[in-house]
Amino acid sequence: MGKKAATSAPVPGASVTFLSGTRGPGVKDDFLDMAAKWVAAIKKNVGAGAIVGKLGEAATVATTIDTTGNQAAKENLDTATLDAKLGGLRGHTLVFVTHGLDVDPKAPKDEQLNTQGLLFHNMTVGRSSSDVVMMKMHLDRMKVDNDHVIADVAGLDLTDKETKSFVDDVKAFARVVDALRQAVFQHVYLAACGTKGRLTEFAKLLQTLANVTVFFNTEAIFLSDKDPTFAEVGIKGSGSSFTLSKGLPFFAPTTAATVPLRSGTDTFLPGSMERAP
């Protein structure tokens, strides 16, 4: 059986696991490079209880979630460390540090909605069908059956080449989401860069399927190009201007005071703009 619901008694212990996006050979991706440095610095600062892994092909990610989840279940970070170094998180959290998916402004509205999601592996420079991306359209074709996430693709025409490829992707990503549902993780943070509001519907579906609380932001997350780097959520304007966003501290009531969403060079963000549920 999967973990307990986020509204029930917490799973014993506490940990934070970071899974970072990856890139193909020769692909320049400054965000992913800085993400790896930021995550490594947090790991060094926190020590045991902070677990680091990588995203990639869907099958590999499902295995990684299984492995890191088993490791996380053995960890028990104390409250002082969670507050001082990990933004006040509690329980077991999985953080995706990667790109969100940019919107194609010329695409129909339903396509713009369906392509919300996360990049796992950046295969080539620019947008490419060879990139590994988990999108809302994949989650739409999943369901929970006997406490497991499975593909729900009945009625699709498998004789059509494109449809068959889509179904294969749904089945592969369903294993990822099921691994998350079965793992110890109670919370997920989508530390993903992207344009305004590109995670909202994706986050809601992921929350339901994986049985987790999902923290996310409606503005983009940026990593400084300085070394050591840090993360901040907000809006970049012309030139060097930047408007820093604020969000609620983790688990705070909606009436609580908001906090600036900027991390330290070796600490995590102190909250998020949104959460589901």
Closest CA to 46 of 6, 73, 86: 86
Lowest average pLDDT, out of 62-71, 105-114, 194-203, 254-263, goes to 194-203
Tell me how far apart the alpha carbons of residues 48 and 61 are, in angstroms, rounded to a whole number.
22
Each domain of the chain, given as residue ranges in start order, spans 15-276
- Following DSSP, what letter does each residue of 135-149 receive, concatenated? EHHHHTTEEEETTEE
Beta strand 92-99 with 15-20 is parallel
What pTM was estimated for this model as a whole? 0.94
Count CB neighbours of 223 within 10 A. Answer: 22
- In this prediction, residues 146-152 reach a mean pLDDT of 96
Residues 16 and 268: beta-carbon distance below 8 Å: yes
Using DSSP, state whether 33 is helix, strand or coil.
helix
Reported as a single tens digit per residue, the pLDDT across 221-269 is 999 988 899 999 999 888 889 999 999 999 999 999 999 999 999 999 9
pLDDT score of 226: 86
pLDDT score of 2: 45
Per-residue pLDDT at 187 exceeds 90: yes
Look over the chain and give the mean of its residue pLDDT values, rounded to a whole number: 93
Q: Letter for the amino acid at 88? A: G
Residues 142 and 149: beta-carbon distance below 8 Å: yes
Reported as a single tens digit per residue, the pLDDT across 49-99 is 999 999 999 999 999 999 999 999 999 999 999 999 999 999 999 999 999
